A and B are shown apart, each in its own frame.
Chain A
Amino acid sequence: MAVLDRKVLRDVRRMWAQVLAIGLVMACGVMTLIMAQGAYRSLRETQEVYYDQYRFGHLFVNAKRIPKSVVRSFHSLEGVQAVEGRIDAPAILEMEGMQEPGAGYVMSLPVGKLPDVNRPYLREGRLPQASSTREVAIEERFAKAHDLRAGDSFSAIIHGNRVHLRVSGIMLSPEFIYALGPGDLIPDSKRFGVFYMSQKALEALMDMEGAYNSVSLRLLRGACEACVKRQIDQALLPYGSTGAYGRKDQVSNSFIDAELKQLESMSRVMPPVFLLVSAFLVNMILTRLIALEREQIGLLKACGYSSWQVAFHYSKLVILISFVGLSIGMFAGAQIGKGLTHLYSQFFSFPFLVFKQSVDLYLIGIVVSAGSALLGAAKAIYGAASLPPAVAMRPPAPEKFRSVMALKQGDGKFLSQLTVMGLRHFIHSPLRSLMTMFGIAFAGAMAVMALFFVDSINAMIDLSMTRAERSDAQVQLIDDMRPSVLDEIQRLPGVFMAEPVRQEAVIFHHGAVSKRGSILGRLTHSNLSRTLDENNNPAPLPEHGILLPQRLAEQLNVGLGQTLRVEFPSLAGLQKSVRVAGFSSSYLGLAAAMRLERLNRLMGQGPRINAAAFDMDESQAPQLYEAIKSTPGLLSISMQVLSKKMFRKHMDQNTVTMVSVYFIIAVIVAFGVVYNSIRIQLSERGRELASLRVLGFTSGEVFKVMLVEMGAIVVLAQPLSWFVGYGFSVVMINGFANDMYAMPLVIHNKTYAIASIVVFVSALFCAGLAWLRVSKLDLISVLKSRE
């Protein structure tokens, strides 16, 4: 090994704490890159292969009743590759060992063949026979949750008919990778199951002979999706279609896409920031190292080493620092990536899901992290290489300080000489102070991000499930019924209060923009199911017109008092004009609201409802659940009270992990920045501090000089960290938002306070380490050595 390389190794060993501190920050960048990009690629590739092999549809449409001949005619549309008609139905499930009713979604299988679109992946057993009216193939997760195998049975209420079903096989469906039950916020495989039945069975149960109520289509590569969609909408107008929609609006697909989008943006935004901070740290220590080794550089050149050799020598040091970061980052990235993929398998139902380790990702990691570190060191290395040997042998000229805050006599009471010293150092190298501030702010921002998520989720739950949708459960009725049905529901055991709801799928039109959505008709002073205004206060329903969700209004580009057209697919495309009477905040779905009687009148009908919301006495839950299962006329049920509990449980389990990961990262960054800054300060000013000690100042007083400078930076970094944290949170919130789901941006003051405390504690810990050094300052040797 060349002697200069030994020097590199010894330099790294000597500065191990600083090298490790920088390496860890760099490791965070590499880790995020490998973890997020790795998970992104795994998920994306699995999704693509699965969609392709199991023929996931491009267009989907639901209607009341579509004659089979109409569905057949879609084959001739230009750009259509395959068409599959189906009978779909919600179901209420009676599962053994579960008191509350479960929710199900049943789909029919074509006769004598596998579906041409949305083909199930059979894991075990077989699909139901065409002639069987009792056989079902159930989704794997649901099967696992209830420990069901082929041959087992359970009962369900489909379209008001109680049926005993026998499991013929276990399958997965590309349509239900993320299987969200009615009213649920996250998949709950215990309470929601998807299954296939024979067409014959569903035709009988749903009274749908010769017709379908759902169609999926696969398009040819390069086909015009909008054109096909337009033709389908036109053709299905008489059949109560709710409008064709693409993959973007398909629930399961849109959740996967949202996750993918988030991973992708994470892998693009986070690593550069970490690498920027580590590049700055490399710059800081290398600048100092080269200043300290000025004469050694001069000597190397005097011995005949070329500028290139000197530059290469220091570059090796930088590469070694990167190597530390890379090794830790790659290892952690691969491990956490595996963990993340494992986490996905809890929510996403894929037949296969492997964490993808691509070589190119590691190469990118190596190039980007070593590159950024070298870039950070470039100026210092260039300085070393271009230092003329004769100049290098002379000590550097004393640094110039500005006489800011010059002390006059008597000022001493306010600012001591020592304080002024500290503050002047702070101003002396403004760029470094700024970068240090930015690094600390980034650490604080990470802590803000960890907690903001909890704040915002809690706010969303509070707003949508406590303030707006306050009912414990909602039942959908099989047909539109007279409001008198409410009395029956009210009489069920344990029901405190029930309110009527009419939910109509509609298409909103304004100008050239059309948007699928729904209108909720409610009581004027509805208590259980309320609409919140833009400030999240309960809003009374207006006498005339409609309350439109803010997000929908933005998409439709419609203002207050303007009129929009509402199309009712269930009424053969009947269109009506409605005035926008106000805006509402809505985080789950895009439902507009109006008075029930106004909605009925708009649709040209008498008093009708199709759902009911109610409050229940939990102590009577078992009796209520039994009664619901045997109440005729119920199509499906959503149990908000259980969805909320499930979601809370899930959040409690995962929040701790997530917050700890972010906190660890925040501490790593704060420590990396503060520790290195203090070490550099100590190195640059050891002489000055020792001189102060010689003059008779105590260690504590001397330490104050350092504390003033670092303290000023840490304190000034706090508002910046809140601001950066807020910015990151905005980006994250926007990344989440889609038509189904949006989160309010809520950051409590407590969150900012905790984030700052995390940074302060890390900084104080570093200060403690510095104090150990200051108190041991060897006065004689420092003063004897040449600067």
Chain B
Amino acid sequence: MVQALFEIEDLSKTYISNSVEVHALRGACLKLYAGEMTVLLGPSGSGKSTFLNILGGLDTPTSGIVRYQGDELNRYSERKLTLYRRKSVGFVFQFYNLIPSLNAWENVALTTELSDNPLDPAEALEIVGLGRRQKHFPAEMSGGEQQRVAIARAIAKRPEVLLCDEPTGALDSKTGILVLEALQRTNKELGTTTAVITHNASIQQLANRVFTFKDGRIDSSHVNSTPKQAHEVDW
């Protein structure tokens, strides 16, 4: 039996913006399993990103429990959360979020400098197929390439978990496939637990497990016994 890396119980998050309460999460419950690739589906405002941010220690829940390897993340101090992000979590965002003044290699080195046993930045770039573009700055690369640098950056520190928020959202299907291939490869080769948020329902065919969000709760979930390869998916 695969072990649950994350156990989330009754997770709620309420923002107060301009004195209006926004309920982003209203009691979500789910488990993520080690080494699996999970896809989180759902419309805009359904709470996926908030959920992912809490999972990655970027945000804290209003109530509920997030267990990571048995530890309650929701009780972590700011310092412990920073350490957790530093050691265990890799992020990939929709808009790549590369530092424009650093080249590809340096953007990856940004995280390897923080970890104890990282991949070589060049090796990480090799994994995402950008071994030849190490000296290029973000402005000199296509969106797909930039996103793959972001993936290299996320995996270079050998995180336990890779959290991807709409990684293909800003890409066309051809480059999207390249990015998904890179994600699948790291998931397989490094055994990194991966969670991917997406609007694109066809991406669920790649996942071991799929959750659908609606109004801050899990609306449905299913297990995919035979995940497809990225290039087999029809967009």
Contact = CB atoms under 8 A, between A and B. Distances in A.
Nearest to A11: B101
Contact of A393 (B18, B83, B93, B111): B93
Interface stretch (A296-304, A328-336, A650-658): A296-304
Interface in A29-63: none
A58 B53 CA distance: 79
Interface in B102-161: 102, 106-107, 109-111, 113-115, 153, 157
12 contacts: A3-B106, A3-B110, A4-B110, A7-B99, A296-B97, A301-B58, A304-B83, A304-B87, A304-B115, A304-B157, A389-B53, A397-B18
Nearest to B91: A302
**Best-surrounded residue of B59, B79, B87, B99 (most CB of chain A within 10 A):** B99
Contacts of A298: 58, 97
B87 A390 contact: no
A296 B110 CA distance: 12
A295 B150 CA distance: 14
B95 interface: yes
A307 interface: yes
A303 B101 contact: no
B86 interface: yes
B58 A305 contact: no
A307 B86 contact: no
Contact of B58 (A2, A6, A14, A393): A393
Interface of A: 2-4, 6-7, 10-11, 14, 295-296, 298-307, 388-390, 393, 397, 786
Given A301-B85, A302-B91, A306-B79, A296 B111 contact: no
Contacts of B99: 7, 296, 299
B68 to A, nearest CB: 15
A774 B17 CA distance: 35
B56 interface: yes
Given A14-B101, A295-B97, A2 B86 contact: no
Given A7-B102, A389-B53, A786-B95, 11 more contacts: A6-B102, A11-B101, A301-B82, A303-B86, A303-B111, A304-B82, A304-B111, A388-B58, A388-B59, A390-B53, A397-B18
B59 A303 contact: no
B114 A305 contact: yes
Interface residues of B, number: 33
Contact of B113 (A3, A306, A307, A393): A3
Contact of B109 (A3, A295, A300, A390): A3
Contacts of B58: 298, 301-302, 388-390, 393
Nearest to B95: A786
A228 B58 CA distance: 79
Contacts of B102: 3, 6-7, 10
A653 B110 CA distance: 59
B71 interface: no
Contact of B82 (A10, A14, A306): A306
Contacts of A299: 91, 93, 97, 99
Given A3-B106, A11-B101, A393-B58, A304 B85 contact: yes
Interface of B: 17-18, 50, 53, 56, 58-59, 78-79, 82-87, 89, 91, 93, 95, 97, 99, 101-102, 106-107, 109-111, 113-115, 153, 157
A390 B85 contact: no
Contacts of A3: 102, 106-107, 109-110, 113
**Best-surrounded residue of A10, A305, A390 (most CB of chain B within 10 A):** A390
Contacts of A388: 58-59
A303 B114 contact: yes
Q: Which 7 residue pairs across A and B have the least CB separation, nearest first? A: A304-B86, A390-B59, A10-B101, A389-B58, A304-B85, A390-B58, A390-B53
Nearest to A2: B113
Contacts of B89: 302, 304
A1 to B, nearest CB: 10
A303 B78 contact: no
Contacts of A393: 53, 58, 93, 97
A782 to B, nearest CB: 14
Contacts of A306: 79, 82
A7 B18 CA distance: 35
A65 to B, nearest CB: 85
Contacts of A307: 78, 82
Given A3-B102, A7-B99, A7-B101, A303 B110 contact: yes
A389 B115 CA distance: 19
Nearest to B13: A390
B168 to A, nearest CB: 17
Contacts of B101: 6-7, 10-11, 14
B42 to A, nearest CB: 18
A3 B106 CA distance: 6
A303 B59 CA distance: 14
A462 to B, nearest CB: 60
B199 to A, nearest CB: 18
Contacts of B83: 304
Nearest to B50: A390
A303 B99 CA distance: 12
Nearest to B87: A304
A3 B156 CA distance: 15
Contacts of A304: 82-87, 89, 111, 114-115, 157
